[in-house]
Each structure stands twice: as structure tokens, then as C-alpha cells.
Amino acid sequence: MTQDAQWLTPQEQRAWRALLATLMLLPPALNAQLERDSGLSAFEFGVLAMLSEAPNRTLRMGQLAAANDSSLSRLSHVAKRLEDRGAIFRTPSKEDRRANDATLTDIGFEIVEQAAPGHVSAVRALVFDQLNDHQVAELTQIGDALRRNLDPERRLPFIQGP
């Protein structure tokens, strides 16, 4: 260990470990709920939810990959599975013929509508029921500060807050 490192204080170390634990434990818990209740992975739900909120239920595949922190290759595999279920369809982009757009179908919208209540209940039970209003406001401020530092180019525009 070098003398030049600015080591974490005990309070920072505790905060860091709490954040790490949350990052490790929350995604599998949410994924398990979605798989159990709707047969969707968290990634599939994220793709469908993003499309359900997009204008005309359509996004360019590259935007959709970025919004879900995914590679285009991974998204293409998931998009194929969702197409096979009739949840989405892909077409060449009207703005850029080199790109493809993904569009949520009515079937896909129904899938999101059926999965969303259970997902929101899980988010509430795992996160928000543990916090008071002041802590929720603090969590928002902390998340926004970290996001601004980690994503200064705003690569993830669909999950950005004000």
C-alpha cells in the first residue's frame, strides 16, 4: 500500500460497503421476482418498459441498449426472444438505414402491464418501505450526484431525472 493513497475514513468505508451490498443484492432479488411472477428477466422487463414509455413505443436499438446498460449484441439476442413471443418487432430505422428500431406491440404492452404491478411491489418492499420521506429525498440527491459523475455525457437519457 502506498502512502499517497487517500484511504477511506471509517464512515466512508461503511457507506461504501453498504452501497456494494445493495448493488450485489438488489438486482438478483428484483430479477427473481420478475422471473417468478411474469417469466421475464429483469433485462427483458427493462427493454419492454423502456419501449412502453417511448414515443410511439419505438426506440433505436442502440438507444435501447444504452438505456439498459447493454451491448447491442446482448440486446439483439433478447430482442429475438421478445420477437418470438410477439412482444416487439424490429424494422430498419427511418432516420438511419444502418440502424434498426424496436417497437413494442400490443402483446408486449400487455406483458408490461401485467408484470409492472408485481415489480413495483417488489421495488417498494425491497427499497422504499425501508426508508422515510427524508431518506428517499437523500437517496434521490445521492443517486443524481453519482449519476452526473458517472454519466456526464448523459448516455442513459431514459433513466435520467430532472
Residue 145 falls within a domain, yes or no? yes
Residue 16 falls within a domain, yes or no? no
The CATH number of whichever domain residue 139 belongs to comes to: 1.10.10.10
Tally the domains of the chain.
Answer: 1
Rg of the chain, C-alpha, whole Å: 19
Give the range of the structural domain holding residue 128, as residue numbers without chain letter: 28-152
pLDDT band at 128 (very low <50, low <70, confident <90, very high): very high
% of the chain residues with pLDDT over 90: 80
Residue 132 falls within a domain, yes or no? yes
Q: What whole-number distance in Å separates Cα of residue 47 and Cα of residue 82? A: 9
pLDDT digits (tens, 9 = 90+) for 47-91: 999 999 999 999 999 989 988 888 999 999 999 999 999 999 999
pLDDT digits (tens, 9 = 90+) for 25-38: 999 999 999 999 99
Give the predicted TM-score (pTM) of the model: 0.85
Show the cell assigned to 107.
Answer: 402483446
Residue 158 falls within a domain, yes or no? no
